[in-house]
Amino acid sequence: MIFRRLAAYLLVFMLLCCPLPAQASDYPPPLSYSNAELKAQDFSGQNLQSAEFSNANLELTNFAGADLRGTIFSASVMTQANLHGANFTYGMLDQVNLTGADLSDAILTETILLRSTFENTNISGADFSDAILDGAQVKELCAKASGVNSQTGVTTRDSLGCR
Q: For position 82, which CATH number holds? A: 2.160.20.80
How many domains, the chain?
A: 1
Question: What is the mean pLDDT for each group of 10 consecutive residues in the chain (163 residues)?
Answer: 51 48 54 95 96 97 98 97 98 98 98 97 98 96 98 98 94
Task: Please list, in sequence order, all residues whose beta carbon lies within 8 angstroms of the beta carbon of residue 12, skipping any fewer than 6 positions away.
Answer: none
Q: Answer whether residue 47 is part of any domain.
A: yes
Nearest C-alpha neighbor of 96 from the set 149, 133, 44, 143: 133
**What domain range includes position 51?**
31-163
Q: Is 34 exposed, middle or buried (0-12, 13-18, 19+ CB in 10 A)?
A: middle
CA–CA distance, 106 with 114 (Å, rounded to integer): 17
Say whether pTM exceeds 0.75.
Answer: yes
Q: Answer whether residue 81 is part of any domain.
A: yes
Q: Answer whether residue 2 is part of any domain.
A: no
Task: Please list, in sequence order, all residues whose beta carbon lies within 8 angstroms of the beta carbon of residue 150, skipping any fewer than 6 positions away.
Answer: 85, 105, 125
> Half-sphere exposure of 128 toward its Cβ, with a 13 Å CA cutoff?
26
What's the confidence (pLDDT) of residue 27? 55
